[in-house]
Structure 1
């Protein structure tokens, strides 16, 4: 399980989730992306447009689900020369009534477990720092902790490679550290907003973060992503693909350092007993 999180919007979170899923699929893992954001604030419906799969709306939350049902509901992301990976998103028309998506990360993990995927990448919309502070003040477990405490979770924390992005990231890391979150298996991704050398404040922030996190990965600027999004992965720059490959390696290395290689089998939800009709 790899929850992709950020302190603020505009951090390249969905882009990072998609690139990581593509690399995981290329490495041979049966991979799915869980789109946990509301439909109209998410890019995933447009990246999977035209597939009549049913999506999340085809999975009733109050009934038992089978693996084939969950698999059929997932869209396929693929491009020339790359293996396909799947996406569970709400692909209905924009004017459809909003779905009541679950907030509990365990519910999303259970859904992925029913689908039987090996690698699960969760694109999460909540602001990390605010969630940690709010949950602490309310005396409850927040979504950030819930994602981090799932079986074999390697969190990925994204930020834009700007002064403001690094400042928000540093605040998030301080909040994670103060709350006892697993920074030793958290991978940080800094997404460049322009071509050229990173600002000095970003390089200094990356140096500081590398001492606390499992790894810091730089995702370079790619004009194709800025212009067209991720509809065609094959047109990405070679260095973008290299950075995505490095991110995949660091996530797997963090998992291996925490739980060993190969990873033990993750727990699976117990099947419901079949109740005969009365």
Structure 2
């Protein structure tokens, strides 16, 4: 990715247990060789896997970024923990890695606030691990006549939504229902990438294959993420333990996100919006 460009990939799901954080992790591993990459952990600390995955990162995390003070690019970058990639490269995570008993942070709900933070940090690839149920959020926002987080993420500059679901009958049903809600609200499904996360080894169930076929025309791409016992046994602390086919699927996911972005905005991507510079402080008289 050229310097000054920014690709945003909000990872969304309709229900819990969809493999959202695993998808965000693997996508970051695969995008890292293309440019500076960060994952934004938007979930509360005690419901997120990222603090455990970044326990050795030795960074201040989100708590080191006061919301009521100006931030420099160096401050934002130094607050992010480092994670190993699939090919020896590295990428970063902004999460709250403090001890469990510390008071919770008041994290912003607005996607624009997270986008501004990533823009200050200057990353090329920004992956947001969201925590809200997208279909419920879309319906609630419609009934309450407000924007909603899902729309906010999907309408950020150069955003390619990544829609996750477990590769099960209930998972594909939840994703299909969410896609119908997104379609009814006119959200950009034409550049969305669906990811079906296998929960067991073996052949994909027929109902999931049929659901993937139906999703194909409505989304930019459908990617199948195979079951990996290494993730179940060891989490994602060591990407080198992943099966080759898992690494291959991560590459396919990154390629699908890139292809959706190129189809929407051209190749290379246009330069991303930049935050306005802070004005110089006026010295006291």
**Structure 1 residue 81: deviation in Å?**
4.2
**Structure 1 residue 50: deviation in Å?**
2.7
2:21 is the alignment partner of 1:7: no
Structure 1: which 4+ aligned runs deviate by more than 6 Å?
Answer: none
When residues 208 and 79 of structure 1 are mapped into structure 2, their CA distance, relative to the original with a 3 A threshold, is: closer
Partner of 1:88: 94
Distance in structure 1 (CA, Å) of the matches to 2:140 and 2:273: 30
Distance in structure 1 (CA, Å) of the matches to 2:193 and 2:86: 29
Q: Matches of residues 1-40 of structure 1 in structure 2 within 5 Å?
A: 1-26=8-33, 28-40=34-46
Q: Matches of residues 122-271 of structure 1 in structure 2 within 5 Å?
A: 122-271=128-277
Distance in structure 1 (CA, Å) of the matches to 2:85 and 2:266: 32
Task: Say which SS state the counterpart of residue 239 (structure 1) adopts.
Answer: helix
Distance in structure 2 (CA, Å) of the matches to 1:277 and 1:268: 27
Aligned residues: 277
Task: Say which SS state the counterpart of residue 183 (structure 2) adopts.
Answer: helix
Task: Say which SS state the counterpart of residue 207 (structure 2) adopts.
Answer: helix
Q: Under a length normalisation based on structure 1, what TM-score does the superposition of the two structures give?
A: 0.98
When residues 147 and 93 of structure 1 are mapped into structure 2, their CA distance, relative to the original with a 3 A threshold, is: same
Q: Over residues 23-77 of structure 1, what are the superposed CA-to-partner deviations in whole Å (9 max), with x where a residue is unaligned? A: 0013x31100000000000000000003321100000001000011111100000
Q: Unaligned 5+ residue runs, structure 1?
A: none
Partner of 1:107: 113
Distance in structure 1 (CA, Å) of the matches to 2:85 and 2:116: 28
**Structure 1 residue 228: deviation in Å?**
1.1
Q: Over residues 196-216 of structure 1, what are the superposed CA-to-partner deviations in whole Å (9 max), with x where a residue is unaligned? A: 111110000000000100000
Task: Say which SS state the counterpart of residue 224 (structure 1) adopts.
Answer: helix
